[in-house]
Amino acid sequence: MRSPLVYLTVLVVATCGLIYELVAGTLASRYVQRGLARRFVEVELSVAVLGGASAPILFLSFGYLPQFFRVALYGVVLMVGTLVGLEIPLVLRILRESVDFKELVAKVLTFDYLGALVASLLFPILLVPHLGLVRTSLLFGLASAAVGLWSTRTVSRRWRRRASTRTRWCSRRRARTSASCSRAPAIISSSS
């Protein structure tokens, strides 16, 4: 009878802990004001490195530094959870300029929930039994890195568009006033 209660306690603690970290990431996202696309790429690559290395870090910590295992465990969970909590708010803020907000929220959350469902089924049923925890961790890290690197296309397109806008703005201004365009980047970046 004690065993189901212990499992239920672990389930509740793990769920609450994950929610706290996601909320921390969501709250932290409001302090990201500029360079949203670049920050998203940085977050994804951080999740890739830290999340992908989490299982090896924790196994090594448990084996070689058992006195620091809990610190390592809570630190990894807190950092990965906070980074993951940053993802959705950043994606919503990046895409809100090009998609109707109602449709945007519906699509982003749909794909977020579908991804979570697929991962939660693949992880225990297929990946861990066939690859083990370390390789599975590294595989998810590679998947996050792929998303981060693929997202650099979006970032580079935005930078090119801004540079093109800045060049047109400077050309028009020079034609009218023959003035310097040294303030153009600040004006354009503050308006976008």
What pLDDT does residue 184 have?
Answer: 47
pLDDT tens digits for 30-68?
999 888 888 999 999 999 999 999 999 999 999 999 999
Q: Please, what is the average pLDDT of the chain?
A: 82
Residues 6+ apart with CB under 8 A from 4: none
Whose CA is closest to 184, among 175, 176, 173?
Answer: 173
pTM for the model = 0.74
pLDDT tens digits for 133-184?
999 999 999 999 999 988 887 767 766 666 566 566 666 666 666 555 554 4
First CA to last CA distance, the chain: 60
Residues 6+ apart with CB under 8 A from 22: 81, 84, 85
In this structure, the number of other CB atoms found within 10 A of the CB of residue 175 comes to 8
What pLDDT does residue 3 have?
Answer: 73
Q: Name the percent of the chain lying above pLDDT 70.
A: 79
Q: How far is CA 164 from CA 29, 31, 178, 183, 185, in A?
A: 28, 28, 19, 15, 11
Domain ranges of the chain: 2-157
Vertex 126 angle, CA 122 and 130, to 5°: 140
